[in-house]
Chain A
């Protein structure tokens, strides 16, 4: 089944403890992206990648890192999580660049709580 898989679904951690949220897609998509969703703020883009080894900052990249060493994987790394990073995170992918009118396929989300 074609899908974007995020893990874990729920995560509770403490301030400063490094964590990684994994994202994998099995559709051979070029484009991948991370969003965070907060009440009243909608979805905001954290980072995106148009291809392997190519990553760019979105609107809210501070406190996050990403890597794209393989086409299928796009992990989100929080080196030193803080409570203001408590949020619902979504990974998404697209077959090609968005300027060619492609749509995004979303994962099921990761609810992160930083205490």
Chain B
């Protein structure tokens, strides 16, 4: 099955700095999605980018997708303490979403 792999696995930054996470995958996809999880709670959808899109913005989030390299990146600009969470990429194929292992981000006030 397909699976996204996030890199780096853990990130610690100061409030106000930007946070960048990368995700790689192995097979062709219809779309790639990013989710956030706070402290073992349910995941919350952040943004979806279709396979024919290269970049997408939503508030302080910017996602890029490079299908030739099978990779995506999530940028959170001007981070806040409330952005502290785990971030997962998920790739869609054959009506299933396959999740990566997650990326722990800690924003220090």
B44: chain A residues at CB < 8 Å are: 106
Instruction: Establish whether residues B41 and A108, one from each chain, have CB atoms under 8 Å apart when the complex forms.
Output: yes
Instruction: Establish whether residues B96 and A104, one from each chain, have CB atoms under 8 Å apart when the complex forms.
Output: no
B25 at the interface (CB under 8 A from A): no
- Which of B12-20, B57-65, B77-85, B99-107 lines the interface with chain A? B99-107
With A43-B88, A50-B95: A101-B50 Cβ-Cβ less than 8 Å: yes
* Number of residue pairs A-B, CB distance < 8 angstroms: 66
B41: chain A residues at CB < 8 Å are: 108-109
B40: chain A residues at CB < 8 Å are: 88, 109, 111
Contact pick for B95, options A4, A41, A98, A107, CB 8 Å: A98
A103 at the interface (CB under 8 A from B): yes
Instruction: Establish whether residues B43 and A42, one from each chain, have CB atoms under 8 Å apart when the complex forms.
Output: no
Binary contact readout B17-39 vs A (1 if CB under 8 angstroms, 0 otherwise): 00000000000001101010000
Interface residues in B52-100 by Cβ distance below 8 A to A read: 88, 90, 92, 94-100
Interface residues in A15-42 by Cβ distance below 8 A to B read: 31, 33, 35, 40-42
- B residues with CB within 8 A of A: 1, 3, 30-31, 33, 35, 40-45, 48, 50, 88, 90, 92, 94-102
| Pairs A-B, 6 closest by C-beta atoms | A106-B42, A42-B101, A43-B99, A103-B45, A106-B43, A108-B42
- A residues with CB within 8 A of B: 4, 31, 33, 35, 40-45, 48, 50, 58-59, 88, 90, 92, 97-99, 101, 103-109, 111
